[in-house]
């Protein structure tokens, strides 16, 4: 899963990327050109730490999420559309972390002359909406040509449905609304696949502020998506401290948990992902990532395609129950290991043992 870090120039994207990935990319350098950096990190999860303590495995594997620092968006290409390579990169993302500047820093002048986070938010949103509109209109033109040429033997009704659907999207976008708020039927999802419309992708807003600055609420920002306010530069400095120093520092500032951890978790939620676990005493504790709503069979496929093929059943227990009971043997004795079939909907925090034959 890949999350793109986007925002206007000098908003703090690379600082955030460094914070999230323990990276050391140079900051404060704006070439204005497309610059992409990628790093994969572990999703912090206290449950995995607990499982590790109980099972004492040789190996512990956390769930992963990939962050991509995307420099080069400047809010000026709304009329002509984004450049091809930039658009390609953006299309590949599963979602975005949108950094908006709230911090004052006389050494870093804002290109628009003043610091105004809500204006900047609107600028980028408009850019995405207009780019989507350009795409949707191109699609409509193609569909129109297709119809004039007799639909290439395609079912007339299907073509009509597609035209009606993209017309509806165009209307929403023309009203200046992102597609993020819309829900689509399975049929519509199919029509959308391959288009990668930007305003449709889930987005998390990070307000990059100075310490002690008043926070912006989602109501104030008039956004339906998640919003988190954090002093990104301070967070980067904390992240770069050693473990002990960071703890001291956080105590001094009364910080309970680095916003960073919360941010990683939020980005995981944002993508509609959940974790399930496998645990083999002495061997491996593993957090796996699946979409919310995935079945036991799909979960098996995550682990290995052979396990999916040979799936017999899953033994399931929730993390909380397993911990309360103290282990698999105790759980089995108490009759708490449920036997589930292929269609079982895996819940966040389920610990699974999949029985299969090859």
Ligand X SMILES: Nc1nc2c(ncn2[C@@H]2O[C@H](COP(=O)(O)OP(=O)(O)OP(=O)(O)O)[C@@H](O)[C@H]2O)c(=O)[nH]1
Q: How many residues bind ligand X (CB under 6 A)?
A: 21
Radius of gyration of the chain (CA): 24
Among 4, 11, 120, 307, binds ligand X (CB under 6 A): 11
231 φ/ψ sector (left φ>0, alpha ψ -120 to 50, else beta): beta
- Distance CA(66)–CA(350), nearest Å, equals 23
| Site membership for Mg ion, residue 14 (CB under 5 A) | yes
**Strand 2-6 vs strand 35-42: parallel, antiparallel, or unpaired?**
unpaired
Shortest CB 69 distance to ligand X, Å: 7
- Distance CA(113)–CA(354), nearest Å, equals 59
Backbone phi and psi for residue 184, each to the nearest 5 degrees, phi listed first: -125, 145
Among 55, 96, 103, 276, binds ligand X (CB under 6 A): 103
| Site membership for ligand X, residue 98 (CB under 6 A) | no
- Distance CA(122)–CA(223), nearest Å, equals 10
Q: Residue 7's binding partner, choosing from ligand X, Mg ion, none, with beta-carbon cut-off 5 to 8 A by kind?
A: ligand X
Which of 120, 125, 126 lies closest to 9, judged by CA? 120
| Site membership for ligand X, residue 229 (CB under 6 A) | no
Nearer CB in complex with ligand X: 125/350: 125
Among 22, 28, 176, 281, binds ligand X (CB under 6 A): 28
Is-contact 147 159, C-beta < 8 A?
yes
- Distance CA(300)–CA(308), nearest Å, equals 5
Which of 306, 303, 298 lies closest to 342, judged by CA? 298
Q: Kindly state the tokens that stand for 131.
A: 């780019």
| Site membership for ligand X, residue 71 (CB under 6 A) | yes
Candidate segments 14-22, 76-84, 296-304, 342-350, binder of Mg ion by CB under 5 A: 14-22
Rounded to the nearest 10 degrees, the angle between the axes of helix 117-148 and helix 156-174 is 160
Shortest CB 231 distance to Mg ion, Å: 17
Among 50, 83, 105, 126, binds ligand X (CB under 6 A): 105
Among 39, 61, 87, 108, binds ligand X (CB under 6 A): 108
**Strand 311-318 vs strand 338-340: parallel, antiparallel, or unpaired?**
antiparallel
Considering only residues 62 through 91, tell me which ones interact with Mg ion, judged by CB under 5 A.
71
Of all residues in this chain, which one has the CB nearest to Mg ion in the complex? 14
Shortest CB 33 distance to ligand X, Å: 10
| Site membership for ligand X, residue 27 (CB under 6 A) | yes
| Site membership for ligand X, residue 210 (CB under 6 A) | yes
Q: Which residues bind Mg ion (CB under 5 A)?
A: 13-14, 71
Q: Which residues bind ligand X (CB under 6 A)?
A: 7, 9-15, 27-30, 71, 103, 105, 108, 208, 210, 231-233
């Amino acid at each position: 899963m890949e999350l793109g870090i986007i925002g206007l120039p000098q908003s703090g994207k690379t600082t955030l990327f460094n914070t999230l990935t323990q990276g050391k990319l140079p900051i404060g350098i704006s070439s204005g050109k497309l610059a992409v950096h990628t790093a994969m990190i572990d999703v912090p999860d206290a449950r995995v730490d607990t499982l590790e303590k109980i099972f004492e495995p040789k190996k512990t594997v956390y769930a992963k999420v990939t962050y991509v620092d995307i420099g080069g968006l400047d809010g000026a290409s709304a009329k002509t559309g984004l450049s091809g390579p930039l658009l390609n990169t953006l299309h590949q993302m599963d979602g975005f972390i949108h950094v908006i500047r709230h911090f004052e820093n006389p050494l870093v002048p804002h290109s628009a002359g003043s610091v105004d986070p809500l204006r900047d938010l609107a600028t980028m949103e408009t850019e995405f909406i207009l780019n989507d509109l350009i795409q949707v209109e191109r699609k409509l033109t193609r569909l129109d040509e297709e119809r004039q040429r007799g639909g290439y033997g395609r079912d007339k009704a299907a073509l009509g449905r597609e035209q009606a659907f993209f017309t509806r999207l165009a209307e929403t976008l023309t009203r200046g609304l992102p597609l993020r708020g819309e829900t689509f039927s399975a049929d519509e999802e199919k029509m959308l696949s391959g288009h990668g419309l930007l305003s449709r992708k889930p987005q998390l807003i990070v307000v990059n502020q100075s310490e002690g600055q008043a926070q912006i609420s989602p109501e104030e920002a008039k956004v339906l998506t998640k919003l988190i306010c954090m002093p990104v530069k301070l967070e980067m400095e904390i992240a770069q401290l050693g473990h002990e120093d960071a703890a001291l520092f956080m105590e001094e500032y009364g910080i309970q948990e680095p916003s960073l951890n919360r941010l990683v978790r939020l980005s995981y939620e944002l993508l509609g992902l959940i974790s399930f676990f496998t645990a083999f005493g002495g061997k491996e504790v593993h957090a796996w990532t699946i979409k919310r709503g995935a079945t036991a069979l799909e979960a098996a496929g995550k682990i290995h395609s052979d396990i999916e093929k040979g799936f017999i059943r899953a033994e399931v227990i929730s993390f909380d129950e397993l911990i309360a009971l103290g282990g698999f043997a105790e759980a089995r004795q108490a009759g708490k290991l449920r036997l589930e079939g292929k269609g079982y909907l895996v819940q966040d925090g389920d610990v699974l043992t999949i029985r299969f034959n090859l």
